[in-house]
């Protein structure tokens, strides 16, 4: 059986270079002989949008809500290129090195930071080691 990839793409993606991203993907899929399914995603929802039955292989393309929900779903997670252990600033700093913005970034626990000795007037920029809104809002 001929395998053709189905692209499951979120509606209303930001334009790419002034063009509709989903339209560009749809045209590219047409040219590659692949199907494209548009899905409407409710921001910050924890539920998968309605998706018609599809055959493997398929891949998701969209923003954080769609990708993290798909990654949590036993049914859909195999088609998400997403590893929460890699999707965090400490990993960016490790992999990008000097190419990373603020390469001197350190990752440590609040307890470890409190145990360090710094002049009282020193200011720090502190952020969680995650970029997932779901992780910071629950």
Partner 1 sequence: MDVGRIVRNVSRYLESTTPSSDTGDSVLPDHE
Binding residues for partner 1, rule: CB under 8 A, are: 1, 3-5, 7, 16-17, 21, 24-25, 27-29, 31-32, 34, 46-48, 50-59, 69, 72-76, 79
CB of 111 to partner 1, least distance (A): 35
Partner residues linked to 39 by β-bridges: 10
**Cβ closest to partner 1, residue 53 vs residue 97:** 53
**Cβ closest to partner 1, residue 41 vs residue 93:** 41
Q: Specify whether the CB–CB gap between 106 and 122 falls below 8 A.
A: no
**Cβ closest to partner 1, residue 61 vs residue 93:** 61
**Cβ closest to partner 1, residue 39 vs residue 105:** 39
CB of 16 to partner 1, least distance (A): 6
CB of 65 to partner 1, least distance (A): 13
**Cβ closest to partner 1, residue 48 vs residue 135:** 48
CB of 97 to partner 1, least distance (A): 24
Long-range pairs, 33-37, Cβ under 8 A, ≥24: 33/4, 34/4, 34/5, 34/6, 34/7, 35/4, 35/5, 35/6, 35/7, 36/6, 36/7, 36/8, 36/9, 37/6, 37/7, 37/8, 37/9
**What are the distances in angstroms from CA 6 to CA 91, 109, 127, 136?**
30, 42, 37, 32
CB of 102 to partner 1, least distance (A): 26
Nearest to 86 by CA among 41, 129, 25: 129
């Amino acid at each position: 059986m001929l395998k053709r990839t189905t692209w499951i793409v979120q509606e209303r993606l930001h334009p790419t270079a002034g063009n509709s991203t989903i339209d560009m993907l749809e045209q590219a899929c047409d040219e590659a002989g692949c199907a494209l399914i548009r899905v409407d995603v409710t921001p910050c929802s924890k539920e998968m949008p309605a998706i018609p039955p599809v055959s493997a292989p398929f891949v998701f393309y969209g923003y954080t809500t769609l990708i993290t929900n798909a990654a949590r779903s036993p049914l859909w997670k195999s088609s998400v290129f997403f590893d929460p252990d890699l999707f965090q600033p400490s990993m960016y700093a490790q992999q990008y090195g000097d190419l990373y913005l603020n390469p001197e970034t350190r990752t440590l626990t609040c307890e470890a930071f409190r145990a360090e000795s710094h002049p009282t007037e020193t200011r720090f920029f502190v952020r969680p080691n995650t970029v997932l809104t779901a992780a910071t809002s629950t």
